Chains A and B, each alone.
Chain A
């Protein structure tokens, strides 16, 4: 059984990808994720200039959900250059550079600077739900703004494929995906965290997160991720690859996202639930399921639900 995937010409040994925001600050953590079995790694969101995050607590969790308001801290382009350069010395698996900015113009500048470092893909974070106080409504919440960012990034990214990371917290993720596709997006990452949500400590009557609200992730959000991936896949007729992310804990979860339309599957919060070995565990579980069901190549799963529905409708 073959778990590898070739996406826009890039070979991934398996479909699991370290999602942005988890570890991901240094070359050493990307290598550690690869050693733990990830087929690809994503950087934490990179800013052109230094950006401070929120005060702790920034990540809290229960069995069902994780809530985070880390606030996208980063040291800026110099550090990105150093760490990406270090990783590329032996680069065990493909690197997806996730970028963020405060304005359309700065998205262009950041993309230009990061594209020079030649990551395999650029992933554009236009959908973080925990920096609204500072940056206003995420760009991913409007078709117009999302398309404007896509266009600005595409204008400077050369041959590096651009994935737009979409928000589930919108009326129509399909319409936003179509606008980005029309603006030149090469693929999508679906979804960023849900909400935002809030948790209160009873005795002190205070919100636990210092930022008060944070993006929801973890097992609870998987059905939202599955629906959003299916929407984006259908809206783009399965022509653009999707990195499906949201609530994946097991190999069967990963396969479900693939049936909805994901070509690669991001794993984030599950690192906190199952430990760093989650990547190899998920791969082993996917492989076992596929072997049982006679699936020879993991790519056969991508968009499988959509094909099944089409067949049924044509009967």
Chain B
């Protein structure tokens, strides 16, 4: 509530009068737009707020803000995720969003839960991507299956599944090449990886997680759509929330594309990952 209080104070200062006038709504709308929520969603939410304030006969800004916070929370995904094992997580996303770091963090998350983890260096495209993940694997003391740069990523995944089955590992996390979602070949490669996983380990639980960078704007929507066209996307890892970026773009993604946030990342350390928390996410948007 501390952060939210700051928001109250800011608004109180701006709006000495407590009536709900257009200036008040405009200011709220600009806060929402500044979170990268997109103008359409922001307008929708403001319409919701006006309606609720009217229905509940709310006349002061303080109560209106509590309602706004509730609207924002309600629009986020409802279900808590439950992980079932053996679990194969394939991590996708465009270049530079923080896929590899997120994989390291998830590894730590599952290790903390006393699960055994194995990694597959499926990004055979970017220079030194395999080295980067191997580096993390060394630090976290987990096994990594890799081949050289330019190798067939599906073959790496195949090897990883074989090893996972032999060692009875609980979790396999597959790194994939970052790709601009407009590159068809690389998207085809993803489909191939998915097919291999389904074929080789049908009984394992599979999750395809997309990594989104909180500082990216409306393009994140396009990214999720494009990946969804190729493979099923089960959830979002929203990274880089330790900066001033708020990642409001997940609102249209959750609403229109029905993809929930699973994890949030907030730093470069392996422990800087949390399961998604609606309340603190909304607090930051309103900060």
Does B associate with A? no
Interface residues of A (CB under 8 A from B): none
